[in-house]
Structure 1
Amino acid sequence: MGKGHFTSSGHFIVLRGVTAGGKILVADPASKKRSEQAWDLSIILNEAHKSAEAGGPFWIISQ
């Protein structure tokens, strides 16, 4: 993530689910409060770091 709601400098969060209303649930290692909140997808997309240095801004992890 880039600078914004989740960080002032950058770090990773996990998108862990979607509510029935379409909001995104996250696991934020820096904040239990943010991890318990449902987020608008637009906030996640706008604050996602645009660099592809680490293969992202998003990775898909599956079983």
Structure 2
Amino acid sequence: MDPIMINLKPAADGLLVRLEDGSGYLPAAGQPVPLTAYYRRRIADGDAMEVQPEPAKPARQKAEA
């Protein structure tokens, strides 16, 4: 079963929130992560917040000549 994915970002500017696997930090713009107990705790503690992903920009149509 695939994990539920959510988009998280740090709750405040300059706040460093470590990724669950320890490979780095959650980027300020946000990142998709699996909804695990670790990230639920980060949300509950006020360190991270769920954000909606930015909608994909539509592909530009070629102008017909």
> Relative contact order, CA 8 A, sep 6+: which one is greater?
2
TM-score, length-scaled by structure 1: 0.30
**Higher helix proportion, which one?**
1
TM-score by length of 2: 0.30
Larger radius of gyration: 2
